[in-house]
């Protein structure tokens, strides 16, 4: 193969991989993702080990690793991971249970839309930390308060997004179902619900990420354990290595949940995977 033909082949491959929404080999995807993390990790090590940035501002990777070993030996690390996961999942599941029926009703029944839209639109712009004093007043400072903070931070957004997702169900599907004699409850359960389920599942994946962002806020409420609590405590004593460690842990847990949702979405809704052929 001559140089011209080789260059033409490489150019075709590059164009193919950059085509809008075109799939790339899984192996190549893993290589690119790994390269990005290795590059960032290498830059971090280079800056910290050369002493160009103070350890207070940028701890070395080995310092973060040593901090993780120490906290693991003290049984603090696993306890923090467990309690934070419990708070996240409890608040998120509660938000799912409330938001799915409200979102479906708001998106398809005009009476419910008239009731919920102004209320949801009013609450969605309120900062979640503003609710903390009221939450503490109403339910105290126990686990319920932390779960409620995460619930408040995610439920309103999910109601809006699920309502929008159900509105995208084709009107032709509804007409066909009515023509075939479907009852109103069957329209909801067998047409709207099933047609919008892939989008709803994706909405849950995105909002679980938002739930993790509210963890730090939730653990402001008189916590003595948890990933967010440990970050706040380390901040007071300038333990930057622990802050880095727990930020990485939150990121790794978030990626794990995200990959789990994507795998389940691919398994249960293969027909919803959109592909454009070149």
Q: Phi and psi of 34, rounded to 5°?
A: -65, -40
Give the model's pLDDT for residue 1.
53
CA dist 56 and 51 (Å) reads 11
Surface-to-core class of residue 275, CB atoms within 10 Å of its CB (0-12 exposed, 13-18 middle, 19+ buried): exposed
Integer-rounded Cα Rg, in Å, for the chain is: 24
Domain at 61-271: CATH code: 1.10.3720.10
Residue 65 is predicted with a pLDDT of 92
What is the residue-level pLDDT of the chain in tens, covering all 278 positions?
555 554 455 555 556 556 656 677 778 878 888 898 899 888 888 888 887 888 888 898 999 999 999 999 998 999 999 999 999 999 999 999 999 999 999 988 889 889 988 888 888 888 888 888 899 889 888 889 999 999 999 999 999 999 999 988 888 888 888 888 888 888 888 888 888 999 999 999 999 988 988 888 888 777 788 898 899 889 888 899 999 999 999 999 989 999 999 899 888 888 776 543 44
Q: Which pLDDT score, from 0 to 100, does residue 70 have? A: 92
Residue 53 DSSP symbol: S
CA separation (Å) from 214 to 86, 91, 105?
14, 10, 27
Q: Which residue has the tokens 């940028």?
A: 58
CA–CA separation, 210 and 207 (whole Å) = 5
Instruction: Tell me the pTM.
Output: 0.83
Give the burial string for 73-112 (b: 16+ CB within 10 Å, else e). eeeebeebbebbbebbebbbebbbebbbebbbbbbbeeeb
Is the separation of the CB atoms in 68 and 245 below 8 Å?
Answer: yes
Q: Note the Cα 16 to chain centre separation in Å.
A: 30
**Is residue 143 within 8 Å of 87, Cβ to Cβ?**
yes
């Amino acid at each position: 193969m001559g140089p011209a033909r080789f260059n033409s082949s490489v150019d075709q491959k590059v164009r193919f991989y950059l085509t809008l929404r075109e799939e790339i080999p899984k192996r190549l995807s893993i290589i690119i993702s790994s390269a990005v993390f290795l590059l960032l990790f290498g830059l971090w090590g280079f800056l910290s080990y050369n002493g160009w940035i103070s350890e207070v501002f940028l701890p070395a990777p080995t310092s973060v690793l040593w901090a993780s070993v120490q906290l693991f030996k003290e049984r603090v690390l696993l306890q923090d991971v467990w309690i934070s996961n419990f708070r996240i999942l409890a608040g998120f599941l509660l938000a799912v249970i409330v938001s799915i029926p409200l979102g479906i009703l708001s998106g398809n029944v005009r009476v419910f839309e008239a009731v919920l839209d102004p209320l949801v639109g009013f609450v969605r712009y309120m900062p979640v930390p503003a609710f903390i004093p009221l939450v503490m007043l109403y339910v105290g400072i126990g686990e319920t308060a932390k779960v409620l903070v995460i619930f408040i931070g995610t439920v309103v957004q999910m109601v809006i997004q699920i309502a929008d997702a159900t509105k995208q169900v084709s009107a032709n599907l509804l007409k066909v179902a009515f023509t075939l004699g479907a009852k109103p409850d069957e329209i909801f359960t067998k047409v709207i619900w099933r047609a919008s389920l892939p989008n709803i599942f994706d909405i849950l994946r995105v909002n679980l990420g938002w739930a993790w962002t509210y963890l730090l806020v939730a653990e402001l409420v008189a916590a003595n354990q948890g990933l967010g609590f440990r970050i706040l405590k380390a901040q007071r004593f300038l333990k930057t290595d622990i802050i880095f460690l727990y930020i990485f842990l939150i990121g790794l847990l978030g990626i794990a949940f995200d990959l789990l949702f994507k795998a389940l979405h691919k398994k249960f809704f293969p027909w919803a995977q959109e592909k454009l052929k070149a």
